[in-house]
């Protein structure tokens, strides 16, 4: 009977899913109208119930009649005591009876063995948390930009799973310390509660592991591994976007852990409400706990971060150099540190002491020159591109309406965005005199005041100018 059922199922779901979820099933017995099948774990059972209950029910009824029922025999994951338990279909699918029987194998992450999630034969459960030891709270400088996130993180580190910050979601732009802070929580827990099972994993790696485990038929171990953790730190969850199957599995793991009072820590580049491409039910979980943001550090904090870093590396830089770096790299802590490292490297190579002049010289390429002068050539090019007029025409004598307009706007922008004199502007745009420039600026200003469309044009071009 089971063979016949499988045939139907096979025709109704993708081959990969069939291989993963149905091939490992062993039919045990058929008594009256009850078919008993053995599944490899509680998680397997839950998954089947969640995803295939309708299909299973239909198929079984087709072969056994309306009285047909399916019972599960769940293998407990401890080879010595294979105490199966049964449950009926249809069931509520909560599988609560089986909870204390789902004993995971001792696990460690090890890339060299075929299945990284299981190392048989270890007595005590041990997991390498995959944390960078430098990412601690001590090394994480506090500032207005991170105060809430940092203190929430600290609270979670002291009482994982025991605060209302579950999950704790840390969000913010690139290089602002999300990974550092999230790992600091893990390091703190490991320091004070070494027996807690902590795992740090990037969302990307998790997705890859999931795909691999499907391929290697180790999905069961994969899920057991994560469900055995006390704390999961998942980095960059925005990378879940579009990966529905992995989201599905993570949703499952998330629920399991959350229900058992285990801690989840997530990071993301956006607040949960703005995360696109994530399933609604997963997003709603992400919103359960606390979302705290990391923003761009102010000058004082940037200085403190640089000083701390220098202190750690045992180096010294003159104060005006630190100030210069902190002043000019103001939106990314990683780049801030990078600039300093690059300074030091170059000074070692050249065997020169770093002073302000040298720092300026060395960081020329590093600092995206924000104060770079906008040239009249550039303005002319932008304006002509915008209105789709040939560039040489602007300097010509033509009185064609759209050319005149492009010329006047170019003059206006040259006056407001460069330090060029009216005389030089006039000379540049076809050898006109300064009164022509004044007249052009006046005309443009009047039009901005009276013509909405015109105002929008000028505004648009100004935006492009500023972006460059
Ligand atoms: P993200 O994950 O947000 O992209 P990271 O956590 O990788 O950023 O941080 C980038 C670098 O900046 C790391 O070296 C980190 O140690 C450092 N950093 C960020 N914020 C701070 C801070 N408040 N104090 C000290 N170092 C910081
Ligand atoms: Mg990061």
Ligand closest to CA 173: 1
Look at the block and give the residue holding tokens 């003059």: 411
User: Which residue's C-alpha comes closest to atom 13 of ligand 1?
Assistant: 334
Residues with CB under 5 A from ligand 2 (ion): 178-179
177 in a labelled binding site: yes
How do strand 263-268 and strand 231-235 relate by DSSP bridges?
Answer: parallel
**Residue 258: helix, strand or coil by DSSP?**
helix
What b/e sequence results for 47-79 when a residue is b if at least 16 CB atoms lie within 10 Å of its CB, and e otherwise?
bbbeebeeebeebbeebbeeebbbbbbbbbbee
Q: What is the CATH number of domain 147-294?
A: 3.40.50.300
pLDDT at 420: 83
Above 90 in pLDDT, residue 163?
A: yes
User: What tens digit of pLDDT does each residue of 220-251 get?
Assistant: 999 999 999 999 999 999 999 989 999 999 99
Tokens, residue 157: 């580190």
Q: To test the ligand 1 pocket, which listed residue (154, 333, 336, 337) has its Cβ within 8 A of the most ligand atoms?
A: 333
pLDDT at residue 92 is higher than 70: no
**Residue minimizing CA distance to atom 18 of ligand 1:** 177
Q: Whose CA is nearest to atom 5 of ligand 1?
A: 177
**Which ligand 1 atom lies nearest to the CA of residue 180?**
6
**Ligand 1 centroid vs 251 CA: distance in angstroms?**
28
Give the residue whose CA is nearest to atom 11 of ligand 1: 334
Ligand 2 centroid, distance to 135 Cα (angstroms): 12
Domain with CATH 1.10.8.60 in the chain: 299-362
Of the listed ranges 215-219, 325-329, 347-351, 397-401, the one predicted with least confidence: 347-351
Tell me whether residue 192 is annotated as binding.
no
- Nearest-CA residue for atom 20 of ligand 1: 177
178 in a labelled binding site? yes
Predicted pLDDT of residue 280: 93
> Is 175 annotated as a binding-site member?
yes
Residues 209, 332 contacting (CB under 8 angstroms): no
77 pLDDT band, cuts 50/70/90, is low
Which three-class secondary structure state does DSSP give residue 29? strand
Q: What is the pLDDT of residues 46-61, one digit of tens each?
A: 888 888 988 998 888 8
Average of per-residue pLDDT values in the chain = 85
Least confident window among 124-128, 132-136, 291-295: 124-128
Rounded Cα–Cα distance for residues 34 and 410 (Å)? 84
Q: In this predicted structure, which of 6-20, 98-112, 383-397 has the lowest mean pLDDT?
A: 98-112
Closest residue by Cα to atom 23, ligand 1, is 141
Q: What is the predicted ipTM?
A: 0.99
| Domain 299-362 fold | Helicase, Ruva Protein; domain 3 (1.10.8)
Q: Where in the chain is the domain with CATH 3.40.50.300?
A: 147-294
In this structure, the number of other CB atoms found within 10 A of the CB of residue 82 comes to: 11
The reported pTM is: 0.68
The predicted pLDDT at position 466 comes to: 79
Query: What CATH architecture applies to the domain 2-96?
Result: 2-Layer Sandwich (3.30)
pLDDT of residue 95: 36
Nearest listed ligand to the Cα of residue 333: 1
How many angstroms separate the alpha carbon of residue 272 from the centre of ligand 1?
A: 21
Within the chain, all domains assigned CATH 3.30.300.180 are found at: 2-96
284 alpha carbon – ligand 2 mean position (Å): 23
CATH ID of 376-467, from 3.90.1150.10, 3.30.70.2190, 1.20.140.10, 1.10.1750.10: 1.10.1750.10
Q: Where in the chain is the domain with CATH 1.10.1750.10?
A: 376-467
Please tell me the distance from the alpha carbon of residue 379 to that of residue 418, in angstroms, as a whole number: 10
| % of the chain with per-residue pLDDT over 70 | 87
Residue 315 main-chain phi, psi, to 5 deg = -125, 165
Tokens of 44: 């397997």
As for ligand 1, residues whose beta carbon falls within 6 Å of it are 139-141, 146, 172, 174-180, 305, 333-334, 337
Between the CA of 181 and the centroid of ligand 1 the distance, in Å, is: 8
Over range 298-310, report the average pLDDT. Answer: 92
């Amino acid at each position: 009977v089971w063979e016949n059922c499988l045939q139907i199922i096979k025709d109704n779901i993708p081959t990969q899913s069939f291989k993963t979820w149905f091939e490992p099933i062993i039919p045990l017995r058929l008594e009256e109208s009850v078919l008993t099948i053995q599944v490899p774990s509680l998680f397997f059972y839950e998954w089947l119930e969640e995803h295939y209950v309708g299909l299973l029910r239909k198929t079984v009824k087709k072969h056994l009649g309306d009285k047909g029922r399916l019972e599960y025999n769940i293998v407990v994951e401890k080879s010595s005591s294979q105490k199966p338990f049964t449950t009926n279909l249809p069931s509520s699918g909560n599988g609560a009876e089986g909870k204390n029987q789902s004993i995971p194998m001792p696990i460690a992450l090890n890339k060299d063995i075929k299945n990284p999630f299981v190392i048989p034969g270890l007595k005590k459960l041990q997991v390498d948390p995959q944390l960078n030891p430098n990412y601690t709270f001590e090394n994480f400088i506090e500032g207005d930009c991170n105060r809430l996130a940092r203190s929430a993180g600290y609270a979670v580190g002291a009482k994982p799973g025991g605060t209302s910050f579950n999950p704790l979601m840390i969000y913010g732009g690139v290089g602002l310390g999300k990974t550092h802070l999230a790992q600091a929580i893990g390091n703190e827990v490991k320091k004070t509660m070494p027996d807690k099972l902590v795992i740090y994993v990037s969302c990307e790696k998790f997705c890859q592991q999931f795909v691999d485990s499907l391929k290697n038929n180790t999905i069961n171990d994969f899920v057991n591994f994560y469900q055995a953790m006390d704390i999961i730190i998942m980095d960059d969850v925005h990378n879940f976007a579009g990966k529905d199957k992995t989201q599905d599995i993570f949703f499952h793991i998330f629920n399991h852990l959350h229900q058992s009072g285990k801690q989840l820590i997530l990071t993301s580049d956006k607040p949960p409400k703005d995360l696109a491409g994530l399933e609604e039910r997963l997003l709603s979980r992400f919103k359960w706990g606390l979302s705290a943001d990391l923003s761009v550090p102010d000058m004082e904090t940037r200085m403190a971060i640089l000083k701390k870093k220098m202190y750690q590396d045992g180096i010294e830089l003159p104060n005006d150099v630190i100030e210069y770096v902190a002043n000019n790299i103001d939106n990314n802590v990683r780049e801030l540190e990078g600039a300093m490292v690059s300074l030091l490297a170059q000074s070692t190579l050249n065997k020169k002491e770093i002073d302000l002049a040298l720092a300026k010289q060395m960081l020329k390429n590093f600092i995206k020159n924000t104060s770079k002068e906008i040239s009249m050539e550039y303005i002319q090019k932008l304006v002509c591109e915008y209105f789709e007029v040939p560039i040489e025409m602007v300097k010509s004598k033509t009185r064609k309406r759209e050319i005149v307009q492009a010329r006047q706007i170019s003059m206006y922008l040259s006056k407001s965005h460069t330090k060029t004199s009216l005389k030089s502007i006039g000379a540049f745009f076809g050898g006109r005199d300064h009164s022509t420039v004044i007249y052009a600026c006046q005309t443009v200003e009047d039009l901005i005041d009276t013509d909405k469309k015109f105002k929008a044009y000028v505004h648009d071009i100004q935006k492009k100018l500023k972006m460059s």
